[in-house]
Structure 1
Amino acid sequence: MTTNPSRIDEEKSSHYPGWGVLAAAATGVMVSFSPIVPYTFSLFLDPLHAAFGWKREAMGAAFALAAITVALVSPLIGVLLDRFPPRRTILPAILIFAVALASLCWLTPHIVQYYFTYFILGLVANATAQFAYTRTVLTWFTTHRGMAIALLLTGSGIGSILIPPLTEWMIEHHGWRSGYLLLGGIALLGFPLTAMLVRNRPEAAVVRAEHHADIGMTVPAALRMAAFWIIAVITILSAFSENALVTNLASILTQHGVLAATAALALSIRGGAGILGRLGVGFALDRVSPERIQSFVLALSAAGTLILAFAGSSWTVLLGATVLGVGLGSEADVTPYLLARYFGRRHFSALYGLSWTAYAIGGATGPLWIGHLYDGAGAYLPRFIVYLAAVAFAAVILSLFLQSNPKRVASERELPSDAGVSFEA
């Protein structure tokens, strides 16, 4: 079955409602868990240590608790998003997220309160982030789906650039308690637009009435396919390599003789290149096989890692950071695209949640592994980074097995527009 021509024409129009939904969703992602918690967590470490004497390891355990909670609850959040209109899940999550962040301004020396709050943040994290908005965006776009996903994820990149310096200014001038209140207020900025605009495409109800709601794989059926497990293992390997490197990048560079200012510049360049990379991948996804794009961006991440392992000058460091940035995170654009393409959208969010669990496994074990190597050697040896590059290249090799298949279940050429989307706004 071919894609509805009127749908294609609609998406080309600047007045197409889907672009408004996308803008609202990207705004929600910009002030969600993804850019706020990971990118501001370290800003509060020194102030909290000064206030309560908490050790770094003890405070780091709170972040680990949140990450583990995200991994465990993401599939459940996915089920809710598949069964109910998106706002029923997203709006309460935004409120809980904002209140929990703001409540950190009332921290006491009892660190249990700190842990409990981060547990709550982990419970609602993916219900506020790109994970929650992706399914809705998929219902509105077919011919420009790749670019739509890229623009959605770019919201997180923009937030990670703007929110940390603003938070640091607030802490410096008004104290850490005001910093947490500010973050709570920022988290609420996505609420109005989400309430007004974020909803599944209305034609989803029509599709259901026409008995197309059963199109798209069930979760058990998808789990019996090799394609799902290949995607999951690729996700684990890439997250293992990338998170191990990024969480230690500044320390690795400075220990290898790179100036601290150059290391900081490399981190900034990596972030900026990541935004450009995602937009480029989004543009390419609408025109090139997503399997080939996935192999390419994974290869870029591996190559950037390898360059940094042997960086002996500032320009080499910046080159490696640029290459790494273009590839790093771009596979996150490809994963939801592939899931919808292979398995349909009937249970897309549940399957997407399982892919986030896979990401959490790799993302948590990578930093622990390189930390273990560091503790044993007392330094970041170049061969450690080569090991990470080897893991990344393993993901590239595995991705080659994920070839285009003309019988793919969820190909837009085989399913009617919005097939598998069962619930209206």
Structure 2
Amino acid sequence: MTPMPETSLATTNDESTIHYPGWSVATAAFAGVMTSFSPIVPYTFSLFLNPLHTAFGWKREALDGTFAIAAITVALVSPFIGMLLDRFPPRRIILPCILVFALALASLSRLSGSISQFYFTFFMLGLVANGTAQFAYTRTILTWFQKRRGFALALILTGSGVGSILIPPATQWTIAHHGWRSAYLLLGGIALLGLPLTALLVRNRPAAVLPQDEPAVSGVSVKGAFASTAFWVLCGITVLSAFSENGLVTNLAAILTDHGVTPQSAALALSVRGGAGILGRLGVGFLIDRFSPQRIQTMILVLAAVGTLILAFAGSPAVSLLGATLLGVGLGSEADVLPYLLAHYVGRKNFSVLYGLTWTAYAIGGATGPMFVGHMYDATGAYHSSSIALLASIAFAAAGVSLMLPRRKSVAKSAATEFKQGVEVLPS
């Protein structure tokens, strides 16, 4: 085999240049995440609550239980999806999941009066959710980046923010002008938009771009991760923040309209939350490559908690937009810091399996939060500020738990060492 010229090799390994092939992979991942489960299901779920209640008379707790089914399913299957991503080319996992996800969304346009059909469809959405979202793309991005790892992770997660800006207003407009059945068909079509770039560009970094004598990839075993404080602290943070975030976001449009905000302003708040998440993610992606990611995480969790508290008492468009902005900057960025910290503490050897287990923790919180809010609504007939303020207190607790993370002075040095120990020979 003819050796790669030094200039070509330098370009291939230089993450600072736009010609670095990892950026095209990140761009494709951005498009995939923008139309994935993450921006579509949580950010549009609350827009269908009133139409479905009107059409079929289903209670709020029963409807929120549907989201819980998806979240619990995500909890159960994420480690398995992670195991597949550690062993097979990413496109073999992602592409079938996108197709199933799109068909399941479109099938909701055919709902009848039986809520069991609604439950089964959300079960299917949960099965493939993380095969379409940032979870599936993160493993590949880690193989391509070290010096710009934080920013690259932020970039792909920004796709979720862009999707959450564009998709809720389009969904609300379709519901208002063409009905909720047409809106579900629209979402099914949107879910297919990330498929072409994923098929063409998403692949793991080939080992051939590095010298052949480099050792195997580093990382702790799953058993070793279970014995570490850092892993369980990250899971604790995830459960608490997911309970607060999903309990609020899945009911946000209904909460705001119950407090006197118009449906259009409520949909705008969902979009603003996504837009603020974009700015927060890019800013945090820049910062965690340079400063302590542990303390950055504490800061953004506090911002999310303050945003939740403001939304608990929001009764006007201006206040709701302020709360949505802080919530977006906070919890939108928290999703960036978690995989960065996890890779820092456990390495890449079993990253996807361990990342899947943190998504199990996320799904536990994500399932119980909406059910709690739905139960409180059915019990009292309204979304009382005191109930939503409880979500804020749980978000503050997540910030407190984050202070327990071990802080290392040599985060960048540790990441660089791990990266230089070799890009594993993975199928592309």
Relative to the length of structure 1, the TM-score reads: 0.86
* Whole-angstrom distance in 1 between the partners of 2:171 and 2:256: 26
2:87 to 80, 83, 88: 83
Distance verdict in 2 for CA 1:103–1:311, change over 3 Å: closer
% identical equivalent positions:
65
Q: Deviation of residue 415 (structure 1)?
A: 2.1
State whether residues 126 and 132 of structure 1, in contact with CA within 8 Å, keep that contact through their aligned partners in structure 2: yes
2:17 to 13, 26, 29: 13
Instruction: Within 5 Å, give how 1:19-418 maps onto structure 2.
Output: 19-44=23-48, 58-170=62-174, 176-203=180-207, 210-213=214-217, 215-253=218-256, 265-309=268-312, 315-373=318-376, 380-405=383-408, 411-417=414-420
* Whole-angstrom distance in 1 between the partners of 2:114 and 2:256: 36
Structure 2: where are the runs of 5+ without partners?
1-8
Q: Deviation of residue 162 (structure 1)?
A: 2.0
* Whole-angstrom distance in 2 between the partners of 1:52 and 1:378: 18
State whether residues 8 and 143 of structure 1, in contact with CA within 8 Å, keep that contact through their aligned partners in structure 2: no
Q: Deviation of residue 383 (structure 1)?
A: 4.2
State whether residues 207 and 421 of structure 1, in contact with CA within 8 Å, keep that contact through their aligned partners in structure 2: no
Distance verdict in 2 for CA 1:316–1:89, change over 3 Å: closer
Amino acid at match of 2:198: T
Amino acid at match of 2:230: A
Q: Any idea what SS the aligned residue of 1:329 has?
A: helix
* Whole-angstrom distance in 1 between the partners of 2:425 and 2:267: 47
**What is the alpha-carbon root mean square deviation over aligned residues?**
3.3
Amino acid at match of 2:239: I
1:55-90 deviation digits (Å, cap 9, x = unpaired): 655554433322211111011101100111111111
State whether residues 40 and 164 of structure 2, in contact with CA within 8 Å, keep that contact through their aligned partners in structure 1: yes
Distance verdict in 2 for CA 1:410–1:367, change over 3 Å: farther
* Whole-angstrom distance in 1 between the partners of 2:391 and 2:46: 24
Q: Deviation of residue 51 (structure 1)?
A: 6.2
State whether residues 70 and 123 of structure 1, in contact with CA within 8 Å, keep that contact through their aligned partners in structure 2: yes
* Whole-angstrom distance in 2 between the partners of 1:412 and 1:121: 35
State whether residues 86 and 198 of structure 1, in contact with CA within 8 Å, keep that contact through their aligned partners in structure 2: yes
State whether residues 44 and 171 of structure 2, in contact with CA within 8 Å, keep that contact through their aligned partners in structure 1: yes
Amino acid at match of 2:187: L
Structure 1: where are the runs of 5+ without partners?
none
Is 10-19 or 267-276 further displaced after alignment? 267-276
Relative to the length of structure 2, the TM-score reads: 0.86
Amino acid at match of 1:80: L
How many residue pairs get aligned? The number is: 420
